[in-house]
Amino acid sequence: MIELEGLSKRFGTTTAVDHLSCQIRPGVVTGFLGPNGAGKSTTMRMMLDLDNPTSGTVRVYGKHYRELSEPLRHVGALLDAKAMHGGRSAYNNLLCLAQSNRIPRRRVDEVLDLVGLTAVAKKKSKGFSLGMSQRLGIASALLGDPEILMFDEPVNGLDPEGILWIRNLMKGLAAEGRTIFVSSHLMSEMALTADHLVVIGQGKLLADLPMADFIQQNSRSYVRLRTPQQERLKDVLHDAGINAVSVPATGTLEIDGASAEQLGELAAQHQIVLHELSPQRASLEEAFMRMTADSVEYHAHAPGMAADGPARPTDAPAWGAGFQATPKAGE
């Protein structure tokens, strides 16, 4: 169990974390979701006593992290995959950590095997790919066999096989009764991994709910329609009491509350030509984007255009392209 109470962190004029209160429970994977810059890493750093809160508290099993006698045996974390000593082999990196935490040497072999790095254990970690570094970071988190594990964006740099592996690893660890807290800026990834969701934007708590509830609340279905007679069709729909939303970016109409069959028949009755008539289900990614839209640091104007403001290396791929083009419900 991890408990956050009114946790806040300011860096100068930037409020990175803003009165965050929530509990992270054992036995489930809790996804910590938010756009880049939302305050996820800062929150995790405060959980591990790497940053001091400006106000509020964070407790792991009722204690402040620094009060834990052998922290690695209680809390394991992967924050920065490249934080390892590059001049040391994977094995020696882990051995140093083990020795300074009174963890037996055989555990080093066990975790190397667990993350699939046994074959490269004697290689210097500076030559590792990001995916291999992630695995080494995960091995170090697992070293003390802790009850609480935190992973900051663990799938970054992993190939599809690696992503599947870490997903199953986290689920397995949760099934053993451990507390698993994993951050991501990708809703799609969380939907496949997390049982519970904590969503933040600009440091503030936006949602704290079971994944199943989030999916149920946000799986909006609608019909997408394309016609060269859009205004006429809108009038017909309006007369039938059906509300249609124009999406200028795609030149389509989106319609809630009527089936594709109804709409097709209505168009036929009025001899309106249709170029597209397709039932759609809004993605969870869209729901997440709507939830956090006000708190995204930098918006892209259109696919392929530069983001506003100073570019950050991790900004563009997930949030940039197409963000503004995504239709919002009710627009």
Whole-number Å distance between alpha carbons of 222 and 279 = 6
Q: Which is nearer to ligand ADP, 51 or 256 (CB)?
A: 51
Q: Which is nearer to ligand ADP, 137 or 144 (CB)?
A: 137
Which chain residues interact with ligand ADP by CB under 6 A?
11, 14, 16, 34, 36-42
| Backbone φ, ψ for residue 212 (5° rounding) | -60, -35
CA neighbor of 89 nearest in space, from 51, 127, 57: 127
Q: Which is nearer to ligand ADP, 43 or 133 (CB)?
A: 43
| Backbone φ, ψ for residue 194 (5° rounding) | -90, 145
Within 13 Å of residue 153, how many CA atoms lie on the same side as its CB?
20
Count other C-beta atoms under 10 Å from residue 90's C-beta.
26
Cβ contact 325:250 at 8 Å? yes
**Smallest separation (angstroms) from ligand ADP to the CB of 266:** 46
Burial class (CB within 10 angstroms; exposed 0-12, middle 13-18, buried 19+) of 150: buried
Q: Which is nearer to ligand ADP, 180 or 237 (CB)?
A: 180
Whole-number Å distance between alpha carbons of 18 and 6 = 8
**Smallest separation (angstroms) from ligand ADP to the CB of 112:** 28
**Smallest separation (angstroms) from ligand ADP to the CB of 6:** 17
Q: Which is nearer to ligand ADP, 94 or 300 (CB)?
A: 300
DSSP state string for 240-251: TT--EEEETTTT
Q: Which is nearer to ligand ADP, 11 or 104 (CB)?
A: 11
**Smallest separation (angstroms) from ligand ADP to the CB of 247:** 29
Whole-number Å distance between alpha carbons of 223 and 255 = 5
